[in-house]
Amino acid sequence: MRTLIDDLLAEQGRLQTPAAKFAEVHDREPDLADHYRSLIPLTKPGKDEQYAFEVSLDRCTGCKACVSACHNLNGLDDDESWRDTGALLGGEAAPSWQQTVTTACHHCESPECMHGCPVGAYEKDEDTGIVRHLDDQCIGCSYCILKCPFDVPKYSEARGIVRKCDMCHQRLAEGEAPACVQACPTEAIRIIKVPTNIPAIPERRRTEHEKNLFQSTIPNPQSGLPSSNITFPTTRYVGRKVPTTAVAADRDQLTPEHAHWPLVFMLVLTHVGIGLVGSAGFQPTASSAPLYLGTLLFNAGMIAAVFHLGQPHKAWRFFLGLRTSWLSREILAFSLFAPIPLVLCALPLLPDFPFKENVSILVQASVLPVGLLAVLTSVMIYADTRRSLWAVPLSAPRFFGTVFAFLLLGASVEFPLLRPFAAAAIAFKTLPELWVLRLADIDTDWSPLRHSARLQLGPLGNITFWRFALAALAMAAVIFSPWFALPLLLASEILERQLFFQSVQAPKMPGTFGPAHPTH
Amino acid sequence: MIETLLKQSSGPLTRELVQSPGSFGLGNVPTRLTPSSTTTSICGYCATGCQLKLHLDEEGNAINLSPQANYPVNLGMACPKGWQALDPLTATDRGTVPLLRDPATGRRQPVDWNTAIATFTDRLKGIQQTHGRDAAAFLSTGQIPFEEMAFLGLLWKSGMGFLHGDANTRQCMATAVTAYKQSFGFDAPPYTYADFEESDVIILSGANLAIAHPILWQRIMRNKRSPEIIVIDPRATETAQAATVHLPIKPKGDLALYYALAHCIIRDGRIDYDAIKNTEGFDDFAAFVQHRTPEQAAHQTGLEAATIEKVARLVSEPGKRVSWWWTMGINQSYEGVRAAQAMINLALITGNIGKPGTGANSITGQCNAMGSRLFSNTTSLVGGHDFANEDHRNKVSVGLGIPIEQITSDPSLAYDEILRAAEDGKIKALWVVATNPFHSWINSGRLSALREKLDFLVVQDMYHSTESAEIADLYLPAAGWGEKTGCLINSERRLAPIRPVRKAPGQALTDFRIFRLLAQSWGCGGMFQQWTDPEAAFKLLRDLTQGRPCDITGIRDYDHLDESGGIQWPYPESDADPHPSAERRLFESGQFYHPDGKARLLFSAPAPLPEPTDDEFSFTLLTGRGTSSQWHTQTRTGKSDILRKLYPAQAYVEIHPRDARRLGILNNQVITVRSRRGSMKASAYLAPTVQPGQLFLPMHYPEVNRLTHPSFDKHSRQPNYKACAARLEV
């Protein structure tokens, strides 16, 4: 017998067919057109002009509707929005001052995401100045994420590519306002036209305080705010004066950065490989073990690199970025090096051919020049992000140090006299790392490097301990046998490179206090 | 050719973001989310009452939403909660079947609706027969349509014959209800949102609109009269930061401040003599404030006498439109009723009521707190009536076809009294509907002991995972906002419907349908024969309001509400314009609801803090809203990935940097906050917002109410969440 429960469950499973009852008129001007007409320019940018966001700090009071509207109106993933919010706190001079800051892509005059992209997946639109990301061109290398000083591009795990704000160019093209502009209850965000002035950049670098993102702020190294002198962001924050002591609300948040495991292995294994292959040249008795091992590890590193890419099958276009991107150059340099160890391994097995000896010597002699050049591109990739921990004086000893430590380790197989030098190389390599660690003292002023040091001694404390403990063990072991030391040092170096990525202070726009929710 | 090979500027990934015209006045929308039709619904979070436009596919399922343009409340805008209103519907912890606790294993087991309903009826009938009608109570909500609230209240009291029931609106606006009832003769917030735009002086007391009611702050930002915005709040909130005057008052110093303002205004003769003719008790009030000078108030308020004098002039400027607004900073206070009435008094004596841009205006918290005030049949008899009034009971009996003897004249216990009775073992069963008291109630640590005393706890909710549902004996899976229809009433008395745009998961049913099942099972189905659906119930309830201040007999049906952009009460049939004006306010004639037509000036001397600080607990702990993306106990807002991005994941405590330095506390350091009732861990946030000696905890983290102090306003029984004594432990 049919009961009331059955009836009610059936009723609950039905939706009204809304078209019949609640349909509204089709194809009319957007309902909000009158509202936003004054919030977008009447005409397209002219010559030497581009579109830019203008944010009124007087009007923004932290409702964060812009973040939601961006998500809904662009149909983004569950946890994806191209706008984000954070806060600035007044600091010592203005203790009761705080301000919400809303940020999307700054559509920079000199977009570093674009310059860093190895495959040309970024374009700066000639007419509007909007920095567009070509989703189908992207190989998912994430280098733009490292290059952007504002933490704008975001990686989509599901798609294997990066996505970012396009200033709702499709809406602007039809005279509609971008989602965030439409949705701000207090009209705090608008689109303006700003002059572009690329040739004048050197001049502007000298007057950096005038061109700070928050115009009223003299850049304060302790603020935790990103520099605007790298990319020349076009967003204008106007209105309320920002105190000179203002700091980002999330500045002291010690959250380790992404580890980028494929990159950790790629860097360590290729650098170790180059060192070991290089050591073969010092071994006239042709002990081939370091050469074979080096070749193996180097190629393992090259394979690891592939796992870093979201769309590896599109990476063949890497040469498109050679003019500006160190990543393109790195791919080229490592591709040039890659055959060398294989040839070295193969030569003894090949039958004699004319000039074989000369070829052998030539190939052997090319190992270090080409190998070190490749490592130099690795150094430059990270140095070019302008992150403090990745500056050349700190990253070059790490990367080249790996090469030379393993070179000496490999060479000391045949020349025991080199063993103390191998141990010294290991020790020498840790010096810059220890120099950073000493900054952790809480009484020192905030700096990106102090942030790194506190991460290394705080949340990453175990990794830091084992990095140095294994290095010390490797130094002790090398006295007995380089073969004992090798795995210890390899493990230590992997941890060193994990720290390299996880403890870097990544410049970003101000965020919210406290740790972020884990994304799933 | 080579160029296209080298540059893939189109393809499947690019297409995901392509837009096309959305029609229905939407402008461009993502092509894959192009609606086939749209409908509207009022947002189901706060009492602002924004209208949302739901984008529907061919089956009537909502696939996206945006705020409705041209709706007189939100004018095309919404806060993040509204934008993400669909997200919580697809959470993985939605209840899909009833759950019954197995006494043998102690675990909740899925059961069918037959078993669930039979268990409910058997257990509650058993308790009623053994212990009487006082032995069970419901605790309900301001979050469901009022047709459902009325059904619940009538089913419980008249159908099932129990006496006690209250709602979480007690935590929210009971103070405003009592203040208005006593002062005006009816619970009637007098304003309309346009008053924000038409005011010259706006006083916001204990109200952080920028965060808690962003759309109302939007209305202030649209004020073209360059208003003075005076924010009275111990914290330098976002709203205070944007104000023209911020009065960083000592916690609970409000009453002393208002009386001192009244003192100055009366002393200087800056009162409206015509307006005072419409009041009762002016002479007593004048005598009462005669000695309450600004100098005296300086100590209680922490404000300088000169500041108070200046503000007194600002709020009594002749010819200026002055409006007073308050929310939880006043309502959630041990003397909130008198504080609200002190503002009402100031509005009355300066003639700032019943005119554009004026009023003493309570901004409500929950989306349907105002519906609860009129229809929940808890404190007041359904339809804006009085349980104690025989005529009213007769009217309800006739109107709803309920035998007069089944309409009680006795009042219910208030929320705190219900819980105390449960602690004392007098109340054996609780039925919790769409609320989460085991997180939200003050001094919540005590509630776990209370659970042990209960014979039977029923929780009816969208989620089986709330703190309350987890410990229930019987859990009933409810459909939520977006899966049901019914009406909400917003802060400015505007009625408008919500619409079903999603199917409920599994066997979840709307609260209305659950009540129908329970009525049939209890044997009182006949009494609710006409309650077939919410709109039918709406018409019954509408007719019941005839002749009351909240008369809405002029409303035809839900479509009428839709067509009119919502309709504010009163809207009696007798003088109903079929197209009512979009913004209407009360008391334009100077007549109030007391029999003599006069408003009452009510006051009493400020009392000391229930739990002042001392050497052991030297900080005053304040609680409140964290961000605009968080709502109450987070059962819904915690389910949206976007909203979760917008607030800190873990509890944090705001501390003044000077206090932190004194105690050696670093930013982000995890510390313990302790009161006499409990403790919790929180990250130290060296925030600019709090004053030295004060702490602030956002209420959304479940541990927070283990600390709060169970003191109550004696008139409204509303808990005093906002100030207790605490200390920090490193």
Mean pLDDT of A17-44: 78
Give the burial class of B273: count Cβ atoms within 10 A of its Cβ; 0-12 exposed, 13-18 middle, 19 or more buried. Answer: exposed
Give the burial class of B714: count Cβ atoms within 10 A of its Cβ; 0-12 exposed, 13-18 middle, 19 or more buried. Answer: middle
Q: How far is B234 from chain A (nearest CA, A)?
A: 12
DSSP labels, A49-69: EEEEEEEETTT--S--HHHHH
Predicted pLDDT of residue A2: 87
Residue pair A268/A490 in contact by the 8 Å Cβ criterion: yes
Are residues A323 and A218 part of one domain? no
pLDDT band at B287 (very low <50, low <70, confident <90, very high): very high
> Coil, helix or strand for B100?
strand
d(C-alpha B571, C-alpha B579), whole Å? 11
Q: Which two tokens stand for residue B501?
A: 């745009």
Mean pLDDT lowest among A38-47, A52-61, A508-517, B327-336: A508-517
Quick: pLDDT tens for A295-344: 999 999 999 999 999 999 999 999 999 999 999 999 999 999 999 999 99
Predicted pLDDT of residue B675: 97
From chain A, the residues in CB contact with B517 under 8 A are 4-5, 8
Predicted pLDDT of residue A461: 97
CB contact under 8 A, B689 and A516: no
Is A495 contained in some domain? yes
Quick: pLDDT tens for A154-183: 999 999 999 999 999 999 999 999 999 999
Within an 8 Å CB–CB cutoff, is residue B429 touching chain A? no
Mean pLDDT of B543-550: 96
The DSSP output letter for B689 is S
Helix (H) or strand (E) holding A183: helix A179-183
d(C-alpha A408, C-alpha A83), whole Å? 50
CA-based end-to-end distance of chain A: 46
Q: Which two tokens stand for residue B376?
A: 């929940």
Closest CA to B416 of B524, B527, B332: B332
Helix (H) or strand (E) holding B398: helix B390-400
* pLDDT reading at B475 higher than 80: yes
Quick: pLDDT tens for B217-251: 999 999 999 999 999 999 999 999 999 999 999 99
Domain end marker among A248, A274, A296: A248
CB contact under 8 A, B65 and A22: no
> CB neighbours (10 Å) of residue A305?
22
d(C-alpha B647, C-alpha A517), whole Å? 8
Quick: pLDDT tens for A117-144: 999 999 999 999 999 999 999 999 999 9
* pLDDT reading at B2 higher than 80: no
Phi, psi of B313 (to 5 degrees): -70, -40
pLDDT band at A214 (very low <50, low <70, confident <90, very high): confident
Are residues A493 and A395 part of one domain? yes
Within an 8 Å CB–CB cutoff, is residue A424 touching chain B? no
Quick: pLDDT tens for B680-718: 999 999 987 899 999 999 999 989 999 999 999 999 999
Predicted pLDDT of residue A206: 45
CB contact under 8 A, A72 and B79: no
In chain A, % helix, strand, coil (3-state, to 5) comes to 50, 10, 40
Residue B641 Cα distances to A68, A184, B61, angstroms: 10, 20, 21
Are residues A402 and A330 part of one domain? yes
Domain count, chain A: 2
Quick: pLDDT tens for B122-179: 999 999 999 999 999 999 999 999 999 999 999 999 999 999 999 999 999 999 999 9
CB contact under 8 A, A73 and B59: no
From chain B, the residues in CB contact with A22 under 8 A are 37-40, 499, 562
Are residues A464 and A440 part of one domain? yes
Predicted pLDDT of residue B448: 82
d(C-alpha A343, C-alpha A298), whole Å? 14
Pick the CATH number of B99-172+375-535 from 3.40.1390.10, 3.40.718.10, 3.40.50.740, 3.30.420.40: 3.40.50.740
Quick: pLDDT tens for B667-677: 999 999 999 99
Closest CA to B719 of B332, B395, B154: B332
Number of alpha helices (DSSP H) and beta strands (DSSP E) in chain B: 28, 28
d(C-alpha B42, C-alpha B488), whole Å? 7
CB contact under 8 A, B236 and A75: no
d(C-alpha A66, C-alpha B78), whole Å? 10
Q: Is B526 left (phi over 0), alpha (psi -120 to 50) or beta?
A: alpha
From chain B, the residues in CB contact with A160 under 8 A are none
Taking the CA of residue A207 as centre, how many other CA atoms within 13 Å lie in the half-sphere pointing to its CB? 7
Going from N- to C-terminal start, the domains of chain B cover 2-85, 99-172+375-535, 190-362, 619-729
Using DSSP bridges, classify how beta strands A98-103 and A84-89 pair: parallel, antiparallel or unpaired.
antiparallel
Residue A96 Cα distances to A92, B631, B650, angstroms: 9, 25, 23
Mean pLDDT of B447-458: 92
* pLDDT reading at A520 higher than 70: no
Are residues A195 and A286 part of one domain? no
Residue A215 Cα distances to A55, A56, A231, A236, B573, angstroms: 12, 12, 16, 8, 59
> CB neighbours (10 Å) of residue B555?
23
* pLDDT reading at B653 higher than 60: yes
Predicted pLDDT of residue A196: 86
* Least CB–CB distance from B641: residue in A78, A100, A515: A78
Are residues A298 and A367 part of one domain? yes
**Complex ipTM:** 0.94
d(C-alpha B187, C-alpha B320), whole Å? 26
> CB neighbours (10 Å) of residue B526?
10
Is A291 contained in some domain? yes
Mean pLDDT of A239-259: 91
Quick one: angle between helices A482-502 and A461-480, nearest 10?
Answer: 160
d(C-alpha B354, C-alpha A237), whole Å? 41
Using DSSP bridges, classify how beta strands B474-477 and B99-101 pair: parallel, antiparallel or unpaired.
antiparallel
Predicted pLDDT of residue A22: 47
Closest CA to B706 of B657, B669, B672: B672
Closest CA to A189 of A72, A64, A54, A83: A54
d(C-alpha B185, C-alpha B183), whole Å? 6
From chain A, the residues in CB contact with B33 under 8 A are 75
* pLDDT reading at A204 higher than 80: no
Q: Comparing B52 with A284, which gets the higher pLDDT?
A: B52
d(C-alpha A171, C-alpha A415), whole Å? 69
Predicted pLDDT of residue A209: 42
Quick: pLDDT tens for A382-394: 999 999 999 999 9
Predicted pLDDT of residue B425: 94
Fold of B619-729: Barwin-like endoglucanases (2.40.40)
- Which distant-in-sequence residues (6+ apart) come within 8 Å of B19 by Cβ? A170, A171, B28, B29, B30, B31
Residue A321: which CATH number?
Answer: 1.20.1630.10
Give the burial class of B353: count Cβ atoms within 10 A of its Cβ; 0-12 exposed, 13-18 middle, 19 or more buried. Answer: buried
Q: How far is A89 from chain B (nearest CA, A)?
A: 7
CB contact under 8 A, B241 and A9: no
Are residues A426 and A459 part of one domain? yes
Are residues A225 and A266 part of one domain? no
CATH match of B2-85 with 2.20.25.90: yes
Percent of chain B with pLDDT over 90: 93
Residue A141: which CATH number?
Answer: 3.30.70.20
Taking the CA of residue A314 as centre, how many other CA atoms within 13 Å lie in the half-sphere pointing to its CB? 24
* Least CB–CB distance from B650: residue in A27, A166, A514: A514
Are residues A422 and A351 part of one domain? yes
d(C-alpha B276, C-alpha A33), whole Å? 46
CA-based end-to-end distance of chain B: 68
Fold of B190-362: Dimethylsulfoxide Reductase; domain 2 (3.40.228)
Q: Which residues pair with A103 in a beta bridge?
A: A84
Closest CA to A270 of A250, A245, A295: A295
The structure tokens 């009161």 sit at: B675
Mean pLDDT of B507-517: 97
CB contact under 8 A, B685 and A253: no
> Coil, helix or strand for B202?
strand
> CB neighbours (10 Å) of residue A335?
12
Residue A290 structural domain: 261-502
Phi, psi of A435 (to 5 degrees): -60, -40
Determine the residue of chain B that is closest to A13 in CA distance: B503
DSSP labels, B290-316: TT--HHHHHHHH---HHHHHHHHHHTT
Give the burial class of A283: count Cβ atoms within 10 A of its Cβ; 0-12 exposed, 13-18 middle, 19 or more buried. Answer: middle
Predicted pLDDT of residue B688: 77
* Segment 648-677 of chain B within 8 Å of chain A by CB: 648-650, 652, 656-658, 666-668
> CB neighbours (10 Å) of residue B12?
9
Determine the residue of chain B that is closest to A66 in CA distance: B80
Predicted pLDDT of residue A25: 54
Quick: pLDDT tens for B624-640: 999 999 999 888 999 99
Is A512 contained in some domain? no
Dihedral of alpha carbons B625, B629, B632, B633, sign:
negative
The DSSP output letter for B155 is I
